[in-house]
């Protein structure tokens, strides 16, 4: 690979990573805003930048919307003193947030987010795309377990243990629920191929049960509300990140929201037709931008759904989560797989 | 007493999946999103303080500008946390408010001790001390939070008076009668 190509590649990678991190930051804001609206509050609406905030109408509007809040949050996380509890294993304590964050960001590489004249816009168009995502994103749990364990404190430890149990339970249903999708696309694991298959009909309408199981498992994998066992504020103080502050906590936080965005992205690619909108995109750069915007809009709707569910449902009890995962979702996913395997075989024979 | 046994029907499949209930909950939260917020944006918007609110105790003057407190010290004695300290003093003969028995030379309420019980207001025979609508008290030192007479009158201002008791007394004394 010649240096010019390499630089372009690096620039692309940096751009995508920056975009995802910005999105994660603003997802935090969205969470706070939506939580406020649902609970009859206003949410963050005070932070303002010196010059931008002083523009008469626009500045006030942005300030009321809390658009500058993530900047203040990031500034706080970066410049706060790093607390270092005396009773922790320093190496693992420092390693854990990075270990939670890196897998979350790594999965972005294989996620196609648009098209340019029929070719996918993606950092690495792997043939094993979905396998890579499943494998790497589940590594994120090591960060949580390590964080809980290295904190050397009982509540974080319980959070970590719960997290590992939950991840293992739902990983199975997660994997099994999307197999029918790949059976339908003819055995390829490439995500771009999955999107192209949905040019006319989204898989959400072809395989609603797969989509439902995947969505539920996704909620569990991202530690979101009905399944937020590792955090469970009312039971475990703050869960696995109780002993963390400043930047370490910031990384855990960012990793969590990155997981939500990536999870939404994967769901969009698999079940919501990626960037397809039943209409062919125009040629050239305009079509490319349009496809990215459509994809982003779908992802953001899903992110909103994640937030919406969080402020609607109460938390499951721990044994209920295990019950749901092993005794309901797993058999359901298996039955779903067998049903679609037979159905696809029959359709192939008949047509 | 007649009891009625309510039959518990087993949940059907849809109910056991929780999904209809989840959709119902989502509908409710979605509707709530569009309702106006019920919160106040505090420093700019202030809550409506109802009459009879028990805020900071203050000293008041009557519409003629006379201080109503006569330094009887009843509030000082009744105050459960002993937050009030009064230093009673004479009113000079040539003052326009002569004929009033006494006036406080200094009147201090330690706001770090005050429990806002309102007993001082209740016990005051002259209607001179009122717990008014100030609810936010802060300071940078302990000394700053011991409100002195000047501060208490500044907070209290003037309240309407229906008696003008001491004015009547003075008029009577000046007419030379011995009604009092």
Q: What DSSP element (H or E) covers A120? A: strand A119-120
Q: In this model, does residue B179 exceed pLDDT 70?
A: no
- Cβ <8 Å between B26 and A38: no
Q: Distance (Å) from the C-alpha of residue A313 to the closest C-alpha of chain B?
A: 7
- Measure CB to CB from residue B29 to each of A38, A41, A45 and give the nearest one: A38
- Cβ <8 Å between B26 and A312: yes
Measured in Å, how far apart are chain A's first and last C-alpha atoms?
A: 45
Compute how many other C-beta atoms are within 10 angstroms of the C-beta atom of residue B15.
12
- Cβ <8 Å between A308 and B30: yes
- Cβ <8 Å between A308 and B26: yes
What is the Cα–Cα distance from A17 to A11, expressed in whole angstroms? Answer: 10
Residues of chain B with Cβ-Cβ distance to A41 below 8 Å are 37-39
Contact B124, B107 (CB under 8 A): no
- Cβ <8 Å between A309 and B32: no
Contact A202, A271 (CB under 8 A): yes
For A141-187, write each residue's pLDDT tens digit: 888 888 888 888 888 888 888 888 888 888 888 888 888 888 888 77
Domains in chain B, please, with CATH?
57-162 (3.30.70.3270)
For A187-225, write each residue's pLDDT tens digit: 778 888 888 888 778 888 888 888 889 998 888 888 777
Specify burial of residue A173 (Cβ count, 10 A radius: 0-12, 13-18, 19+). buried
Residues contacting residue B96 through CB under 8 Å, at least 6 positions apart = none
- Cβ <8 Å between A37 and B32: yes
Best to test chain B binding among A208, A312, A313, A316 (most B CBs inside 10 Å):
A312
For B112-169, write each residue's pLDDT tens digit: 999 999 999 999 988 889 998 888 888 899 999 999 989 998 888 888 888 888 888 7
Q: Distance (Å) from the C-alpha of residue B20 to the closest C-alpha of chain A?
A: 13
DSSP 8-state assignment for residue A54:
G
- Give the global pTM: 0.81
Q: Distance (Å) from the C-alpha of residue A327 to the closest C-alpha of chain B?
A: 13
Residues of chain A with Cβ-Cβ distance to B41 below 8 Å are 42, 45
Q: Distance (Å) from the C-alpha of residue A41 to the closest C-alpha of chain B?
A: 5
Q: What DSSP element (H or E) covers B90? A: strand B84-90
B37 near A CB under 8 A: yes
DSSP 8-state assignment for residue B104:
E
Lookup result for tokens 């125009």: A282
Confidence of residue A230 (pLDDT cuts 50, 70, 90): low
For A82-138, write each residue's pLDDT tens digit: 878 888 888 888 888 888 888 888 888 888 888 777 777 777 777 787 888 888 888
């Amino acid at each position: 690979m010649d240096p010019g190509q390499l630089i372009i590649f690096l620039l692309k990678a940096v751009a995508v990573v920056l975009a995802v991190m910005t999105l994660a930051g603003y997802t935090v804001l969205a969470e706070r805003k939506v939580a406020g609206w649902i609970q009859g509050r206003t949410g963050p609406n005070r932070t303002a930048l010196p010059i931008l905030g002083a523009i008469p109408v626009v500045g006030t509007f942005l300030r009321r919307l809390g658009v500058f809040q993530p900047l203040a949050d990031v500034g706080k996380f970066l410049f706060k003193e790093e607390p270092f509890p005396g009773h922790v294993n320093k190496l693992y304590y420092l390693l854990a947030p990075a270990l939670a964050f890196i897998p979350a960001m790594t999965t972005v590489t294989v996620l196609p987010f648009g098209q340019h004249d029929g070719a996918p816009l993606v950092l690495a168009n792997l043939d094993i795309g979905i396998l890579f995502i499943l494998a790497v994103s589940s590594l994120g749990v090591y960060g949580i377990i390590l964080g809980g364990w290295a904190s050397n404190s009982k509540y974080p430890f319980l959070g970590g243990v719960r997290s590992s149990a939950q991840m293992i339970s739902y990983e199975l249903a997660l994997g099994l629920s999307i197999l029918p999708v790949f059976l339908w696309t003819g055995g390829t694991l490439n995500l771009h191929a999955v999107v192209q298959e949905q040019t006319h009909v989204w898989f959400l309408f072809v395989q609603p049960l797969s989509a439902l199981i995947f969505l539920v498992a996704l909620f569990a994998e991202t530690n979101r509300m009905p399944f937020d066992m590792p955090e469970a504020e009312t039971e475990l103080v703050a869960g696995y990140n109780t002993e963390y502050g400043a930047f370490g906590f910031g990384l855990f936080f960012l990793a969590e929201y990155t997981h939500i965005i990536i999870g939404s992205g994967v769901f969009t690619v698999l079940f919501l037709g990626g960037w397809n909108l039943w209409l062919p995109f125009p040629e050239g750069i305009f079509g490319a931008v349009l496809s990215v915007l459509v994809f982003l809009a779908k992802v953001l709707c899903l992110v909103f759904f994640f937030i919406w569910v969080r402020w609607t449902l109460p938390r499951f009890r721990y044994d209920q989560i295990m019950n749901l995962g092993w005794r309901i979702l797993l058999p359901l996913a298996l039955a779903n797989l067998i049903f679609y395997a037979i159905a696809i075989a029959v359709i192939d024979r008949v047509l | 007493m007649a009891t009625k046994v309510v039959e518990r029907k087993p949940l059907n499949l849809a109910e056991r999946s929780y999904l209809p209930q989840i959709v119902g909950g989502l509908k409710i939260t979605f509707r709530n999103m569009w309702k106006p917020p019920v919160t106040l944006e505090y420093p700019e918007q202030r809550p409506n303080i109802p009459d009879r609110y028990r805020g900071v105790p203050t000293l008041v003057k009557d519409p003629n500008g006379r201080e109503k407190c006569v330094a009887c010290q009843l509030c000082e004695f009744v105050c459960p946390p002993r937050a009030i300290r009064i230093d009673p003093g004479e009113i000079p003969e040539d003052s326009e408010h002569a004929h009033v028995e006494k006036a406080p030379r200094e009147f201090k309420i330690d706001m770090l001790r005050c429990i806002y019980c309102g007993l001082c207001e209740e016990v005051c025979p002259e209607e001179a001390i009122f717990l008014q609508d100030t609810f936010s008290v802060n300071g940078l030192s302990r000394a700053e939070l011991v409100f002195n007479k000047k501060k208490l009158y500044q907070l209290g201002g003037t309240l309407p008076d229906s008696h003008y008791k001491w004015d009547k007394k003075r008029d009577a004394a000046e007419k030379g009668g011995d009604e009092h």
